[in-house]
Structures are given as C-alpha cells and as structure tokens.
Amino acid sequence: MKKNIYILVSVVLFLSCSSTRRNKSSNAKSFQGIEGYVVKVVGNQMPMVDAPPSKPQPVITTVFIYDSTNIKEVTQVNQSPFYSNLKTRLITTVQSDSLGHFSVSLPEGKYSLFVKVKGMYYANLYDEKNNIFLVTVEKNKPTKVEIKLSNEAVF
C-alpha cells in the first residue's frame, strides 16, 4: 500500500512539473530589441603587475537610439568619439538604471547607439564602413550590448 502511494505521489509530482514547463515555454514571448549595460572606465587601464584591473562602474544615463548612422552623417568634434550634431532620425530613448542596465523593444533593423556626455553625443565603436556603434535587431531575438564610456580612461 505504501509503495502504491509513493508511486502515485511521484507520478503526480512529475506531471505537475512537466505541465508547468510546457506552460512556461508555450506562453513565453521572445524579447526583440536591445538590452545591455552602460558602464564607465576611468584612469589608467594598462595592465600592471600585482594590481587587479579596475572594474567598470555602472552609469545612470539616457541611451539615444538613432537610425543607422555613418561618420559622414554627424558633426564630429576633433576626430574624437564626441558629436555635436546627428543628421539621422532619433528612434527612441531609454534610461539605464542604477546598475547601468537598460532594455528597449525595437522592430527589426540597424540602429546606432549614443549617450550624452558633457552635453555632447558620445559613441566610441565603429564598424569597417565607419558606421557608429551599429547594432542589428533580429526578429524575436535580444541584442546584447555594453556601452563603455572610456573618455576619461588611458589605455
């Protein structure tokens, strides 16, 4: 009798767990957009003997998401990663939290990411065609990024 109760309880537990798994996967909606972190590095970033590398610090800021932007479509400040004017269309903005984390749903497409530093747009990544911080959003997939503010760092 105890053996039958043990088997019955095991079957009930197994079925309840497996049905929960099915419900989660069938109800889960895929995130499509961009998610990531904004962090800042400062000071000497050169590796040093017996010194651990400094940790990037999270930044609370606004992330500006523009249509794909090429270096020819901006006013660049002295060949730096700072821009005073962007000629492409602003798609949306999103705020990073106290951990530097942000997440924004977007349609499929190519986007350029910027943040403002000292009143100017900032982005320090370029592809081989001089597109600025180009990010591709694919259908039903999250695109993960890290925006690293390194304008006060030395490498």
Q: Both 101 and 117 in a single domain?
A: yes
**Residue-level pLDDT at 153:** 66
C-alpha dist (Å) from residue 99 to 95, 102, 127: 11, 9, 27
Kindly state the percentage of the chain with pLDDT values over 70. Answer: 79
Residue type for 120, please? Answer: M
Full residue range of the structural domain in which residue 16 is found: 1-29
The reply to whether 57 and 20 lie within a common domain is no
Whole-angstrom Cα Rg for the chain: 23
pTM, rounded to two decimals: 0.76
Shared-domain flag, residues 11 and 51: no
Q: In total, how many domains does the chain have?
A: 2
Q: Quick one: which of 39, 145, 143 has its CA closest to 97?
A: 39
Q: What is the CATH number of the domain that holds 127?
A: 2.60.40.1120
Whether 74 and 7 share a structural domain? no
**Residue 103, token pair as written in the block:** 């997440």
Note the pLDDT tens digit of each residue in 10-46.
444 444 444 334 334 434 468 999 999 999 988 777 7
> Quick one: 21 and 49 in the same domain?
no
pLDDT in the model for residue 17: 46
Task: Round to whole Å and give the CA distance between 76 and 83.
Answer: 5
Sign of CA dihedral 94, 142, 83, 98: positive
Residues 24 and 84 in one domain: no
Whole-number average pLDDT of the chain: 84
59 and 20 share a domain?
no
Instruction: Identify whether residues 42 and 6 lie together within a single domain.
Output: no
Confidence of residue 49 (pLDDT cuts 50, 70, 90): confident
